[in-house]
Chains A and B, each alone.
Chain A
Amino acid sequence: MTLSEGKVRLKTGAKRASLTLLQAAAICLLAWLAHALVLYLALPVPGGVVGLGVLLALLSLKWVPEKALQAGAAWLLGDLLLFFIPPVISVIQYEAMIEQYGARMLGFLVAGSVTVLLGTGWVVDKAFKFERGLHLARAGGRL
Chain B
Amino acid sequence: MSHTSLALLSLVITLMGYYGAKRLYSRLGYWWAAPILLAPLLIIAAVLLLDIPLPSYFEYTHFLVLLLGPATIAFALPIYRERALIRRYPITLTLGVMAGLLLGLVSSWGLVKLFALPPEIGHSVLVRSVSTPFAMEATTAFGGVPELTAMVVLMTGVVGMLLCGPLFRFGRVRSSLARGVALGASAHGAGAAKAREYGEEEAVVASLTMIFTGIAMVLGAPVFALFLV
Contacts and interface: CB of A to CB of B under 8 A. Distances in A.
A87 B146 contact: yes
27 contacts: A28-B67, A35-B69, A49-B219, A80-B132, A84-B65, A84-B150, A85-B64, A87-B65, A89-B44, A105-B152, A107-B115, A109-B128, A109-B156, A111-B111, A112-B128, A114-B163, A114-B167, A116-B185, A117-B167, A117-B186, A121-B171, A122-B171, A124-B96, A127-B92, A128-B178, A131-B89, A131-B92
Interface residues of B, number: 100
B18 A125 contact: no
A90 B58 contact: yes
A113 B174 CA distance: 18
Interface of B: 14-15, 17-18, 35-36, 39-40, 43-44, 47-48, 54, 57-58, 61-62, 64-65, 67-81, 83, 88-89, 91-92, 95-96, 99-100, 103-104, 107-108, 111-112, 114-118, 120-121, 125, 128-129, 131-134, 136-137, 146-156, 159-160, 163-164, 167-168, 171, 173-175, 177-179, 181-183, 185-187, 189, 215, 218-219, 222
A44 to B, nearest CB: 7
Contacts of A80: 68, 71, 131-133, 189
B54 to A, nearest CB: 6
A45 interface: yes
Interface string A13-34: 0000000000010011011001
Nearest to B154: A88
Nearest to A30: B73
A104 B131 CA distance: 23
Nearest to B129: A116
Contacts of B215: 49, 52
Contacts of A70: 77
A108 interface: yes
Contacts of B18: 79, 81-82, 85
A121 B178 CA distance: 5
Nearest to A26: B70
A118 B170 CA distance: 9
Contacts of A108: 108, 111-112, 115, 117, 125
A40 to B, nearest CB: 17
Contacts of B125: 105, 108
Given A59-B76, A92-B47, A109-B152, A125 B178 contact: yes
A88 B21 CA distance: 16
B160 A77 contact: no
Q: Majority SS of interface residues in chain B? A: helix
Contacts of A107: 115
A125 B177 CA distance: 7
Nearest to B158: A109
Given A86-B14, A108-B112, A109-B152, A116 B100 contact: yes
Given A83-B71, A117-B163, A92 B96 contact: no
Contacts of B62: 86
Nearest to B96: A124
B104 to A, nearest CB: 5
A85 B43 contact: yes
A31 to B, nearest CB: 4
